[in-house]
Chain A
């Protein structure tokens, strides 16, 4: 587990952050640009020396300004993946990959070059120079280089932010594979919510240099009191699902979740594969009677738990479906017209196509 407390004053901006990142697991650090998330990562890696702070990784103290302890970056064993890859231009891909491996402590255990190249699909690139790689390939090599340095924690600073949508889609599955294969704590800095949905277990929300909230991703996604999340167009509940089965003829996949089943456009993954879906609040409609003759594939009986006003004209409904919670964003007028009140039995309607596309 990474135990972090950092305070650092910049001209006109103060970073004051404390949080814990469980190990193993992916902790996403999420926030708008300029909130201090990359600074935080640099402080953990040791590339920035904060005014005050304490950092402990699985009991080993990396930094304790009160005790005048500050391990230099080269001895922290933090594998860092930078946004701009930072491959050494004068070295081949293979020499880049071996750079950290050759400098890792003798006793440290970890994957070998062959395993990493196979896992990341970069075996055919070994003889090339970084200049001859695509953006996605660069990031995969950078990821491999960090993993091969036998790190105790993996720090990723918006590794996909510099890539276009196609390249992002190419690299994201590799990040998921790394997460599943290595029992490493990972700190993942991003401002893209779909990356959080796909990869993270825990979420640290940063705003203006402070921790707004932190906790399990599903828990934070269901909160409506965090404007940073709740006012986004893609705000909504995250459901932990399992693939139940595919129906290729109808182009649908059935997903099971704690409150029932969802039908979504055809997904990858054998039955039993866990998958997390974000049900955007703006894609959920409600009905006070069981509707008939609708194209909507998912009609879920629910209990209306609470109605939370959002601005003057809209409301967010908290819908309890078995163990799970869905959020629905509707106009205040609709809520009044239907006479919605907490405790009411209603039906939640979610179109299948709402799950298509990025983040679905």
Chain B
């Protein structure tokens, strides 16, 4: 049904989205916790910065990444010098661009569920002898697990379709950085590529719908498991 190249684009999309979630999740949870519970100057500014990828044109985010992580950029040159690692025009670069774009999605989902956690429970854990890391691991983290999961699945589904930031930062290299949407774009630019574009678009559509349904289902299951009525 699909040519090997098209399958390659699907696989690459899944891999890029998965990596973006795996590496983006821990800092996103930490950021959500900082924004929800932290009391420090500049919190509002940090909040705005985190949400920038939601409102900035993705091309601008890609360009900013290019400037920062490019071989001559402040971070990119160090990575190259120390580890010999180049992000531009690589699969890792595509994952980074996707992670940055979906970061606010995870932060928002986790923060919503953090706001729903009664701080009184954390206080109760304190009086029972639990230190900060202990409290977070045994009380807060399990209680926000539904938010983390649904955030992760949403980010994964959105990551499958990230276009602007990826094409700007990682370019459109088949087998390297050409994810589904980039492959669709390439197909539409090719004479006679309508059928290919339609097939890939259908797959994109199916993956997105499946992701959203899965996020909803997983959230409900987990909420029930955690002893709270499913909403």
B124 touches A80 (CB 8 A): yes
Residue B37, interface by CB 8 Å: no
Q: Are B124 and A103 closer than 8 Å at their CB atoms?
A: no
Which of B128, B225, B229 sits near A145, CB closer than 8 Å?
B128
The stretch of A84-92, A279-287, A331-339 in contact with B is A84-92
B120 touching A103, Cβ below 8 Å = no
Report how far A79 CA is from B130 CA in the complex, Å: 13
B227 pairs with A130, CB closer than 8 A: yes
Distance (Å) between the CB of A216 and the closest chain B CB?
A: 29
Q: Which residues of A contact B139 (CB under 8 A)?
A: 88
Please tell me if the beta carbons of B128 and A90 are within 8 angstroms of each other in the complex: no
Taking the nearest CB of chain A, how far is it from the CB of B75, in angstroms?
38
- B134: Cβ under 8 A from any A Cβ: yes
- Chain A: interface size category: 20 to 34
Q: Tell me if B123 and A73 are in contact (CB < 8 A).
A: yes
Docked complex: B104-128 residues within 8 A CB-CB of A: 118, 120-121, 123-128
Beyond A73-B123, A74-B129, A149-B128, whether A90 also contacts B226 by CB under 8 A is yes
Which B124-166 residues sit within 8 Å CB-CB of chain A? 124-131, 134, 138-139, 142-143
Contact B124 A82 (CB under 8 A): yes
Contact across chains for A149 and B226 when beta carbons are under 8 A apart: no
A189 to chain B, nearest CB (A): 15
Q: Mark B191-219, 1 if CB is under 8 A from A, else 0.
A: 00000000000000000000000000000
The answer to whether the Cβ of B228 comes within 8 Å of any Cβ in the partner chain is: yes
Are B129 and A104 within 8 A (Cβ)?
yes
Chain A residues lying within 8 Å of B130, measured Cβ to Cβ, are 74, 99, 103
A162 within 8 A of B: no
User: Chain B nearest CB: distance from A24 CB in Å?
Assistant: 20
Q: Would B128 and A103 count as touching, CB distance under 8 A? A: yes
Q: B125 contacts which of A99, A129, A146 (Cβ < 8 Å)?
A: A99
B165 smallest CB distance to A (angstroms): 37
Given A77-B129, A89-B143, do A131 and B228 touch, yes or no (CB 8 Å)? yes
- Point out the residue from B121, B129, B131, B225 that lies within 8 Å of A88, measured CB to CB: B121
A349 to chain B: which residues have CB within 8 Å? Answer: none
Chain B positions within 8 Å of A46 at CB level: 126-127
Q: How far is the CB of A113 from chain B (nearest CB, A)?
A: 14
Residues of A within 8 A of B118 (CB): 86
Chain B CB within 8 A of A35 CB: no
Contact call B127/A45, Cβ cutoff below 8 A: yes
Q: Which residues of B contact A72 (CB under 8 A)?
A: 126
Tell me which of A78, A80, A130 has the highest count of chain B C-beta atoms within 10 A of its own C-beta.
Answer: A80
- The minimal Cβ–Cβ distance linking A70 to chain B, given in whole angstroms, is 13
Q: Are B127 and A103 in contact (CB under 8 A)?
A: no
A47 contacts the other chain (Cβ, under 8 Å)?
Answer: yes
List A330-359 residues whose CB lies under 8 Å from chain B.
none
Closest to B143 in A: A90
**How many B residues are at the interface, by size bracket?**
20 to 34
Which among A80, A130, A131 is the interface contact of B127 at CB below 8 angstroms? A80
The answer to whether B227 and A74 touch across the interface, beta carbons within 8 angstroms, is: no
A53 within 8 A of B: no
Q: Is A100 an interface residue (CB 8 A)?
A: yes
The answer to whether B227 touches A47, judged by C-beta atoms less than 8 angstroms apart, is no
A80 neighbours in B (Cβ, 8 Å)? 124, 127
Q: Which of A84, A99, A131 contacts B128 (CB 8 A)?
A: A99
Which interface residue of B124, B130, B139, B228 has the most chain A CB atoms within 10 A? B124
Q: How far is the CB of B89 from chain A (nearest CB, A)?
A: 45
Chain A residues, Cβ within 8 Å of B125 = 88, 99
A149 CA to B128 CA in the complex, in Å?
A: 6
Collect the chain B residues with CB atoms within 8 Å of residue A103's CB.
Answer: 128-130, 134
Asked if B128 and A89 sit within 8 Å, CB to CB, the answer is no
Q: Which of A46, A78, A86, A131 has the most CB of B within 10 A?
A: A86
CA distance A350 to B226 in the complex (A): 55
Question: B99 to chain A: closest CB distance in Å?
Answer: 29
Name the one of A47, A130, A149 contacting B129, with C-beta atoms under 8 angstroms. A149
Q: Which residues of A contact B131 (CB under 8 A)?
A: 74
Contact status A73-B127, CB under 8 Å: yes
Write the chain A residue with the least CB distance to B117. A89
| Cβ contacts under 8 Å, A77 to chain B | 129
Asked if A89 and B227 make an inter-chain contact with CB atoms under 8 angstroms apart, the answer reads: yes
Residues in chain A near residue B225, CB distance under 8 A: 90
Known: A82-B120, A103-B134. A89 touches B226 (CB 8 A): yes
Q: Which of A62-110 contact B (CB under 8 A)?
A: 72-80, 82, 84, 86, 88-90, 99-100, 103-104
A47 touches which one: B126, B138, B143 (CB < 8 A)? B126
> Which single residue of chain A is at the shortest CB-CB distance from B134?
A103
Interface centre among A89, A90, A100 (most CB of B within 10 A): A90
Q: Which of B120, B134, B228 contacts A86 (CB 8 A)?
A: B120
Would B128 and A129 count as touching, CB distance under 8 A? no
Provide the residues of chain A in CB contact with B226, threshold 8 Å. Answer: 89-90
Closest to A128 in B: B227
Which residues on B sit within 8 Å (CB–CB) of A76?
127
User: Complex Cα distance A145/B125, Å?
Assistant: 11
16 contacts across the A-B interface (CB closer than 8 A): A73-B127, A74-B130, A80-B124, A86-B120, A88-B124, A89-B227, A90-B143, A90-B225, A90-B226, A99-B128, A99-B130, A100-B129, A104-B129, A130-B227, A146-B127, A149-B129
Having A47-B123, A74-B128, A82-B124, one finds 8 other A-B pairs with CB under 8 Å, namely A75-B129, A76-B127, A86-B118, A86-B124, A88-B121, A100-B129, A130-B227, A149-B128
